[in-house]
A and B are shown apart, each in its own frame.
Chain A
């Protein structure tokens, strides 16, 4: 047996993972795996808690997409209590979700993945990071830091607490938005919108053209896709129906609470992270030449499954994207491009929601009563479809929890992408830090969060 290469930790992603690459006697790749090396057990220790406390416990699954867990949890609680929340509360939740998305997508493009493109995939590792970018283009770095921070500030004004929020409650939203606060957020939102417009222009002119070849060749695999759409097929990140697309582009829509009919989770002995797969495929395989049941979530998946975007500037970008790359797009690195289109969509959506006077209503929290029940809450997290499924006893105490996070869905695809990238880039035993970084780029495209994924 040949050499084993271990990359540890995988960096510029959230959470803990390592890549293990097995070479054969000739020095070519015979196998490659991405191993999630952490597990906290939220599904176990959420049991026994009063269900109304879960929206402020499950936030700690992720320090980056805490709003996604917070909202999925609040929605699961709404369903457990059988309450329809007031319209203004729904708008406040959607507003928070879109602000959080802008913050997240800025973070990923500029702080995490961007260095691979702006400094170069095989640049010296000590400069291939956001501090390197700050040295190279200080004005841009300043803008990035400011606009990401504005996201946090807006969420603070809106809800009191930006990381590990408390304001989405079973029955609605706890904090009303006062007119003065609305105005304050609005001016920040306009600044973020300008930056979102700049970002996609900048990427299309200065970044992506240099990597068109890599888009076509690095870590390309063929899978199905999953995302959320409105009744009319337009992208929705807070509420809607799930759309599952097979690798050839045929899709089926279903309600959140039917997810158990469509998704099963497989376990491998070498990673703490499970492998969700499409039940209807009739089995699961990560064979690069003949995969079975594998599907993807996150930005590219959402743009593949949806029929359009409800805001004008993002819709224009979406049309151009679809015309250029087709449907479904399988090129892994195009996740980055899709992410910037979503950044623009959310920045526009924030401004749209703030312009709706109903968002300042104080009718936002309906009283709920404990009861025995089951509730499935689902949102699109920046990293993909997020499902929270709770059961309670008559006193509203949690008796069962099932969670599938955005990155969990992508586990099989990430493993396949890494194997593809490793096979194509490591030949006859030749590799260096730049080549291994290209393998990691296959992971970063998915903006994975191992903490969320294993929870």
Chain B
């Protein structure tokens, strides 16, 4: 039996539902796993079952799974406790790996966020920032590995159920797990004709006639619709391969993050587009669009104030 602890930090819960979406193979895995902590499904508490302890405590485990980045001091504390108690720590999903969608908050200073939420919202009766008995928010959103050491990364918003199964199976066999360094385009069924793109359009209409099958359709980027597939890691489609958003006749927005460590997808995408003569100004809201899921680790920063 392998002991597993699961925690969620600055999250939506989609990665936890992805674990449930493994479906029947999950029942096959269960006899080899012993879940010792998982707040979504189980009642283990941080400070003892009736709150009798003074220190936050998570049980020891061979495998720790953490989804979500870090947005407050409690989440930082839980991340540290998970690292202390788990032999192998998995960062599950793009929030844990790169900050995820909530990382978009890194484009504005924290006081502006509070100002909007508690004093500048249409139906809200303005008041001071809540703080009594609440964990303090951190200055920005952090990816998990900016706070503790991470052993295995499974990106995606959310990740694919099969990748969770593969990771757990590998760890049960004593092996590590990493996704191959392929791009979304490597698994995209649309046809590329390698002809220059002439403009960048916003997705305000269907990129292709909807009577057409996907395999008969041309590459959405070649048709002028911004797709960050070329600079995004593949894997979202699981064994079916076909990238999920493409399957929905929509372009990729980069939820699996960079293809390999150390690269800069925004710079790569921009140089690829400029090399074929496209004006970058045609992409509205460029930094946040090209780095939508990877805003932690210093990628998205407060914007200069407009005058």
Q: Which positions in A face B, CB cutoff 8 Å?
A: 5-9, 11-12, 14-16, 20, 35, 37-41, 43-45, 47-50, 52-53, 56-57, 59-64, 66, 107, 111-112, 125-126, 128-131, 134, 141-142, 145-146, 148-149, 152, 156, 159-167, 169-171, 174-176, 259-260, 263-272, 274, 276, 362, 364-370, 389, 395-397, 400, 402, 404, 431-433, 436-437, 449, 451
Contacts and interface: CB of A to CB of B under 8 A. Distances in A.
B122 interface: yes
B66 to A, nearest CB: 14
B43 A11 contact: yes
A298 to B, nearest CB: 17
Sort A-B residue pairs by CB-CB distance and give the 5 closest, nearest first.
Answer: A63-B14, A160-B248, A160-B247, A63-B13, A149-B23
B158 interface: yes
Nearest to A391: B122
Contacts of B289: 49-50, 53
A64 B13 contact: yes
Contacts of A61: 12
A140 to B, nearest CB: 12
Contacts of B236: 161
B1 interface: no
A9 B45 contact: yes
B12 A451 contact: yes
Contacts of A175: 210, 247-249
Nearest to B244: A161
B43 A125 contact: yes
A63 B23 contact: no
Given A45-B107, A60-B102, A5 B51 contact: yes
A331 B34 CA distance: 37
B2 to A, nearest CB: 14
Contact of B285 (A49, A272, A276, A400): A49
Contacts of B27: 134, 141-142, 145
How many of chain B's residues touch chain A, expressed as a range? Answer: 35 or more
Interface in B1-54: 10-18, 20-21, 23-24, 26-27, 30, 35, 39-47, 49-51
Nearest to B102: A40
A20 B133 contact: yes
A263 B123 contact: yes
Q: Is the interface of B mostly helix, strand, loop or mixed?
A: loop
B204 A52 contact: yes
Contacts of B44: 11, 125-126
A265 B127 CA distance: 11
B135 interface: yes
10 contacts: A6-B51, A9-B39, A35-B133, A62-B13, A152-B23, A160-B248, A264-B124, A267-B130, A270-B130, A274-B124
B23 A145 contact: yes
Interface in B51-106: 51, 71-72, 74, 100-102, 104-105
A8 B116 contact: no
A9 B248 contact: no
A362 B51 contact: no
Nearest to A436: B50
Nearest to B210: A362
Given A9-B46, A40-B71, A164-B255, A271 B134 contact: yes
Given A38-B72, A63-B13, A365-B206, A49 B288 contact: yes
A449 B23 CA distance: 23
B105 A40 contact: yes
Given A267-B130, A433-B49, 5 more contacts: A45-B104, A57-B101, A267-B118, A370-B202, A402-B123
